[in-house]
Amino acid sequence: MDFDIKDSGLATGGRHRIEWAEQEMPVLRTIREDFARERPLAGTRVSGCLHITTETANLAHTLQIGGADVVLCASNPLSTQDDVAASLVSHYEIPVFAIKGEDNETYYEHIRAALDHRPHITMDDGADLVGTIHKRRQELIGDIVGGTEETTTGVIRLRAMAKQGQLKFPVIAVNDALTKHMFDNRYGTGQSTLDGIIRATNILIAGKTIVVAGYGWCSRGIAMRAKGLGGNIIVTEIDPLKALEAVMDGFRVMPMLQAAAIGDIFISATGDINVIDVDHMKAMKDGALLANSGHFNVEINIPGLAQLASSPPRKVREFVDQYELPDGRKINLLGDGRLINLSAAEGHPASVMDMSFANQALSAAFMLRNAGTLENKVYSVPEDIDQNIARIKLEAMGINIDKLTQEQETYLSSWEEGT
Ligand SMILES: NC(=O)c1ccc[n+]([C@@H]2O[C@H](COP(=O)([O-])OP(=O)(O)OC[C@H]3O[C@@H](n4cnc5c(N)ncnc54)[C@H](O)[C@@H]3O)[C@@H](O)[C@H]2O)c1
């Protein structure tokens, strides 16, 4: 078996952590039981470009039990958990091409290796597989039934490809499922981003002024959790509706340039470029911390920061690079400006990834069931899958809810009855 990981000796620890995560993934466990019986992915080659974490290992194992032949590479150079990669190779016989801290060249070599598997299904987190196939590996398209996409940034790119008539196979936008973005993006990113910042810096959040760029699913969760830890939150937005929502949720809202002079910690999660730019950095206080939780490391203008600084950065802690400005002020960049929750912490807790990855597994099975009938466009996850995942999750949490009575069903579907 061909693979490229850091150290096979880490496998045992990785397995323990994969099993620990599994306890918090009841929906995926239920799907695994169904997959073991029905084998809906029998004979299917799946290439996954995902964060190599304990939760992804549980997804890959579920696909394998469903009959798939799975190969994985990383969807971010810093998000790989090397012990998990080792365990996947040693205990699950799943080839992995991923090493935490790999350089750009190795990152793309690993994507190429995952594509050499000649997938029927691609599973992306950021559209790197789909992008590479369309740009450089078009010979693979004939074999591909379809793809799935995990994150907002990937979905935006795929929609742009579809709009321009460039998309050559169907893709399901897993991110669009309510059981994905309402929980993973909000509660997952919210908690794990703060976890990443705290692990990277050991800083006290209480009493700090925290500037959150964006008020979308992720950034809303970050603002909520930072507030819960005692931070004073400022939100920046470009969308008037989101800005208004932030105001009514009780946050101060202002332009980034104004916030720049006040903030202690800056967190961007927008999917946009140069949201924290050089002009903002020039206005910042000594000791400001900059972190990103959006998909790509472009939200903070890192080349601009390097130019602004009087010397190369000093690594003052494992995930903190300190840049000194000519007037002596210091600005700290966390986790190389990459997803801080995955670079300095462990990514989302298993309990939310349970639903995200349940969507991945069921979307792959849906795609195969409907092979040949889907168009080359971006599909949402079918509503019955979404509803089913929420139902299983509630059941696993021991929570019952009411059912519509016959009278209520009739009432809600009628229009004649008024006051
Ligand atoms: N860290 C993680 O684990 C994780 C998890 C899920 C998604 N993501 C990524 O996080 C990013 C955001 O995802 P989302 O689901 O919250 O998207 P979203 O579309 O719900 O929210 C993005 C928000 O950013 C705002 N925005 C855009 N440009 C801005 C700017 N210049 N200044 C201020 N606000 C701006 C938009 O108006 C929008 O409200 C994406 O890149 C996504 O892929 C990361």
Each residue's pLDDT tens digit, 228-247? 999 999 999 999 999 999 99
Q: Ligand 1 test: best mutation among 155, 194, 295, 346, most atoms within 8 Å of CB? A: 295
User: Per-residue pLDDT tens for 334-381?
Assistant: 999 999 999 999 999 999 999 999 999 999 999 999 999 999 999 999
Residue nearest to atom 1 of ligand 1 (CA): 293
User: Per-residue pLDDT tens for 278-325?
Assistant: 999 999 999 999 999 999 999 999 999 999 999 999 999 999 999 999
Dist. CA 219–CA 269, nearest whole Å: 6
Instruction: Give this prediction's pTM.
Output: 0.93
Tokens describing residue 416: 């004649």
Angle (deg, nearest 10), helices 350-369 and 26-38? 30
Dist. CA 244–CA 105, nearest whole Å: 43
State in Å: Cα 246 to ligand 1 middle. Answer: 14
Say how far residue 213 (Cα) sits from the centre of its chain: 17
Lining ligand 1 with CB less than 6 A are: 151-153, 181, 185, 189, 213-219, 236-239, 242, 269-272, 275, 293-295, 339, 341
State in Å: Cα 152 to ligand 1 middle. Answer: 7
DSSP code for 368? H
Q: Which pLDDT score is estimated for 46?
A: 98
Position 413 pLDDT exceeds 80: yes
Dist. CA 292–CA 260, nearest whole Å: 15
Of 38, 33, 27, 11, give the one whose Cα is nearest residue 92.
Answer: 11
Residue nearest to atom 41 of ligand 1 (CA): 271
State in Å: Cα 73 to ligand 1 middle. Answer: 24
Q: Between the CA atoms of 278, 282, 285 and 290, what dihedral angle is there, to the nearest 10 degrees?
A: 10
User: Per-residue pLDDT tens for 375-399?
Assistant: 999 999 999 999 999 999 999 999 9
